Structure 1
Amino acid sequence: MPKSLSLRAGLGNVLFWSVISAAFIGPGTVTTCAMAGSRFGLQLLWALTFSTFGTIILQEAAARVTIASGLSLGEILTQTYGSRIRWIMIALAGAVTLGCAAYEAGNILGAMSGLVLLTTGSSQLITLLIGLLCIVLLWRGSTKLIANVLGLIVFLMGGAFAYVALSVSPGPQPVLHAMVSPSLPPNSLVLIIGLIGTTIVPYNLFLGSGIGQNQSLSEMRWGITLAVLIGGLTSMSILVAGTLVTGDFSFQQIEQALSYRLGNWAGALFAFGLFAAGFTSCLTAPLAAAVTTKSLLGWSEHSLSYKAVWLLVILFGLTFGLLGVKPVPVIVLAQAANGLLLPVVTVFLLIAVNNKTILPAQYRNSIWQNILMLIVVIVTTFLGLRNLWLITQ
């Protein structure tokens, strides 16, 4: 008999799965979405609609595989292909860790920027406190505790951005039309790729698979769908808020534009949202690196190697954050690695959810699920290769 899902349990589930939203809404997402709104108005909202539903489809598939088999996505790849792809596993683990380490610096700097806008405090002291708090929370070792903390912050962040967006929105009809009407304005392709790529994040599939064990299908689907929808609507709210910004683009410009048009409260809410986006990603980037590496290489969650991965990611980001230096060469390398990682992971996932030797019939993809997932795989493959091509130019 399927497990019933009470309202209280359902809300707790959404809170738990908000770790996925926390992972893809970081300072990079705030920048990309706000810049899209600043340059193209509402015309690129459709890209966030596509990426939100694409994320739900892929995350549900990754978690379903784990629930049905009891194995994480990385363990399934190892069991299916064995030593034949050992070098691919090591390369994937290295690419994810490198990418997370590079982006951790941006996450810490983003969280610090939000608090500086709010408090005008010492940037170095705030950076150090953020790094130390992340280490304390991750050292506790409870994935559920971290997920719940992140969930609360994501809800607050989403509310802050949504309130600002509603205050500047031209009305529901133009927004809804832009959400479902694809358009390609001149010189918008890079931002479209950025909007989709910043939402459909490859390491999130390993993160969702790694934390999704011991749940029923109904719990998982309810939690993932609502949590990712909240994340997608938050990203859309940031884009709408970005339509107020003209001229040079920076966090300070957004804060000043909102404060000038709506009052100081709007600038303060944006600053809090920026801090929340940075802080949640400060936690999820090292956590995702450790969970993915554990999944791919077969480590224990309590092993020193597992803890060493997330600790190194935080220390890397903290060092660059304290120096105030953005690790541009490493970020470029990480983008290239993630550009290849995204299509590889999505193709592996599509094969896994149709594997008759691992999954019972009721857990395998239906024809419609395969069609929807194949569309997402094709688009993410294009994005990954396109992203790699742009970087190499």
Structure 2
Amino acid sequence: MAKTESLSEVHQSVNTDKRKGWRRILSFIGPAYLISVGYMDPGNWATDLAGGSKFGYQLIWVLLMSNLIALLLQSLSARLGIVRGLDLAQASKHAYPKWVNIPLFGLAQTAIVACDLAEIIGMAIGLQLLFGLPLIWGISITIFDTILLLFLLNRGMRAMEGFIVSMVFIVGISFLVEMFIVEPSLKEVVKGFEPSLLSGDALYIAIGIIGATVMPHNLYLHSSLVQTRKIERTNKGMKEAIKFNFIDTAVALNLAFFVNAAILILAAAAFFRNGLHEVAEIQDAHKLLSNIFGNVAPTLFAIALIAAGQSSTVTGTLAGQIIMEGHINLRIQPWLRRLITRLLAIIPAFFTILYYGDGALGSLLVLSQVVLSLQLGFAVIPLIHFTSDKKLMKDFAIKTWMKVWAWGSAFLIISLNVKLVIEEISGWAKDANTWWIYVFVFPAVVLVVLLLLYVFLHPLINKGNLQRQMVPHGNALDIGKIEKISYERIGIAVDFSTNDRNTIRHALIQGGKDAHYYLIHVVETAAARYHGDIVMDHETQSDANNLEKYKINLADLGYDATVFIGFGGTAKAIADISNKNKFELLVMGAHGHKGLKDLIFGTTVDSVRHKVNIPVLIIR
């Protein structure tokens, strides 16, 4: 049976029932730390460095505001996951039509690629700063972190959380030490908490800071991760879970705020104060730290950068899995999900280095964070709608004051994004050759705005369609009268292993002596793959003789059988023979290998069942 829970591999894998007192609180600690790494990834570094070096301590208030908004939205995300048992993507799939979920998935995937792009660049820069590795090689190496994710997923949820917390700890300690080294002005830091009007470069960087801090994929991720805790599905149990998860979120996000503020303060104290106002490049920051403070600060800086990038990579993969499964109901292997996302992010990084040089990566980092911010509205608006609905959330629907705060935050984010888009398009329109703006940019902007309006208005207009939202897979059907199914044409895939006896016996039980059986074996030699059915190598002849022995053996027992030999790819050959001969049932033996062996040997059973339209009986 297909698993439908969010992150089914670790769903309810952490038990909280048997713990009491502070141990019970600790059992809920973890999900928010996985979320917090997204708030201190290399993309944040770029925007914080740019803001601190160019405007000193002036944008600290933007960081604080972003952190407060993040705390609110992440707590709403956790509430949704705890009360409804759905992540944000699943809730969107049930609330919006299919044609809306496809672009919502596309936008969310774009945000994850933008986030992954920041992590790739950060890792590559960190490796270059520590070991002198060229950026192009550092970017290539990041493909292989898929192995780390596979290892952590197999070890369980607590192992993954332990890894992430250790990475966060490394980042936090590194910046704590650096703060003592640079000795910032406390008076100016306090003054930076005073809000000020933003325009031009300050607005662009501020939106980048918001996009880097309030990350859309974290809203999807948090609503899923809270479901890894097994809780009582009572009002008391859910109320307790919401409280403990809020504590987890508050502590983790305040730590993230400390790291982001430390980076901005570091840039302000080290660069802005010394007249270096254009330090948006992480490499420049490392070099200048070396010149001003010696070797300790830049080394800590590089180590923290690598730790931040690696931890964010893991959470980005999980978010991608949640979004794909939730919005479009497509589930693929985590390693493949990771590889696709990474390749989509590596391509623009390679392109940037090859055509614009290493120096352009800093600008690409900031741009990636602005893209994240532009996508926020499509995650935030549905989240507020879902957690405000009293019919769905019952006693746990958010209060009026929280709704006002949430909608105010959403309005602020969207308003800043609208202002940014208008300023950017106005700047592009001043160029001489602007035909592409009217052909591509304007239509794209209009479509995005219309989609955002639909996402906002649809839940308000469609409140009557409650049943569809509350039932994830539809209602159970009346099974009705049960009649015996008699199979007349049964295919049996054999491989001449010890599994064959069991596979054939189960097939015979299904059809009895009234059915006709078709014994299938696929020759996979190199010659068979290239020459197909004209090949007559030793293996083909041996396999043909073995099939005849099975046929004779079955005939002696009173069963009719025909033999087929396929050539080349096992799954395709079995499926082609089954479809061509109109089998009514296919019986196959499972090898029982998994994990790394699946990558090496493939998964024939899974491939075959997607290529045929008949029942497949799998015998282990």
Instruction: Give the TM-score range, shorter chain.
Output: 0.7 to 0.9
Q: Which residue of 2 aligns with 1:260?
A: 291
Distance 1:140 1:5, change over 3 A: same
Q: Which residue of 2 aligns with 1:87?
A: 99
Structure possessing the higher relative contact order (Cα contacts under 8 Å, 6 or more residues apart): 1
Distance 1:332 1:51, change over 3 A: closer
* Kept in 2: contact 1:5–1:219 (CA 8 A): no
Q: Which residue of 2 aligns with 1:348?
A: 382
| 2:58 partner SS | coil
Alignment of 1:194 onto 2:213: no
1:24 aligned to 39, 46, 53, which one? 39
2:146 aligned to 129, 134, 141, which one? 134
Distance 1:9 1:319, change over 3 A: farther
For residues 97-143 of structure 1, give each alpha carbon's deviation from its aligned partner in whole angstroms, at most 9, with x where no partner exists: 23322442332121121122122245555444433123431465355
Q: Which residue of 2 aligns with 1:315?
A: 343
Distance 1:333 1:157, change over 3 A: closer
Kindly state the Cα deviation for residue 383 of structure 1 after the two structures are TM-superposed: 2.9
Kindly state the Cα deviation for residue 46 of structure 1 after the two structures are TM-superposed: 0.2
For residues 135-154 of structure 1, give each alpha carbon's deviation from its aligned partner in whole angstroms, at most 9, with x where no partner exists: 43146535554343222211
Q: Which residue of 2 aligns with 1:232?
A: 257
Q: Which residue of 1 aligns with 2:403?
A: 370
Distance 2:183 2:366 in 1: 35
- TM-score w.r.t. length of structure 1: 0.86
| 2:391 partner SS | coil
Distance 2:180 2:400 in 1: 39
Q: Which residue of 2 aligns with 1:148?
A: 162
Distance 1:291 1:390 in 2: 34
Distance 2:243 2:35 in 1: 17
| Percent of pairs with identical residues | 24
Distance 1:34 1:334, change over 3 A: closer
Kindly state the Cα deviation for residue 390 of structure 1 after the two structures are TM-superposed: 4.3
Q: Which residue of 2 aligns with 1:36?
A: 51
For residues 59-105 of structure 1, give each alpha carbon's deviation from its aligned partner in whole angstroms, at most 9, with x where no partner exists: 00011011011111222223334xxx212211111122233224423
For residues 266-310 of structure 1, give each alpha carbon's deviation from its aligned partner in whole angstroms, at most 9, with x where no partner exists: 1111111222222223333333222222222234xxx32665433
Q: Which residue of 1 aligns with 2:80?
A: 65
Task: Write 1 or 2 for the structure with the bigger share of helix.
Answer: 1
Distance 1:344 1:116 in 2: 36
Distance 1:133 1:277 in 2: 14
Larger radius of gyration: 2
Distance 1:87 1:167 in 2: 54
Distance 1:313 1:257, change over 3 A: same
Distance 1:183 1:340, change over 3 A: closer
Deviates more, 1:225-234 or 1:342-351: 342-351
Q: Which residue of 1 aligns with 2:516?
A: none
Distance 1:126 1:8, change over 3 A: farther
2:197 aligned to 184, 189, 194, which one? 184
* Kept in 2: contact 1:92–1:341 (CA 8 A): no
For residues 12-37 of structure 1, give each alpha carbon's deviation from its aligned partner in whole angstroms, at most 9, with x where no partner exists: 65444212121232222101101111
- What's the RMSD between the two structures over aligned residues? 3.1
1:113 aligned to 105, 125, 148, which one? 125
Distance 1:51 1:169, change over 3 A: farther
* Kept in 2: contact 1:57–1:373 (CA 8 A): yes
Alignment of 1:385 onto 2:410: no
Q: How does 1:161-172 map to 2 (within 5 A)?
A: 161-172=175-186
For residues 322-381 of structure 1, give each alpha carbon's deviation from its aligned partner in whole angstroms, at most 9, with x where no partner exists: 6745899999997787555312321211111111221121x1112222222122111122
| 1:358 partner SS | helix
Deviates more, 1:46-55 or 1:270-279: 270-279
Q: Which runs of 5+ in 1 are unaligned?
A: none
Kindly state the Cα deviation for residue 241 of structure 1 after the two structures are TM-superposed: 0.7
* Kept in 2: contact 1:38–1:242 (CA 8 A): yes
Letter in 2 for 1:19: L
* Kept in 2: contact 1:293–1:306 (CA 8 A): no
Kindly state the Cα deviation for residue 239 of structure 1 after the two structures are TM-superposed: 0.1
Letter in 2 for 1:376: S
Alignment of 1:298 onto 2:329: yes
* Kept in 2: contact 1:63–1:209 (CA 8 A): yes
| 1:304 partner SS | coil
1:99 aligned to 104, 111, 121, which one? 111
Distance 1:99 1:374 in 2: 22
Letter in 2 for 1:39: K
Kindly state the Cα deviation for residue 320 of structure 1 after the two structures are TM-superposed: 5.4
Task: Write 1 or 2 for the structure with the bigger share of strand.
Answer: 2
Distance 1:390 1:235 in 2: 27
Letter in 1 for 2:92: L
Alignment of 1:357 onto 2:391: yes
Distance 1:17 1:160, change over 3 A: same
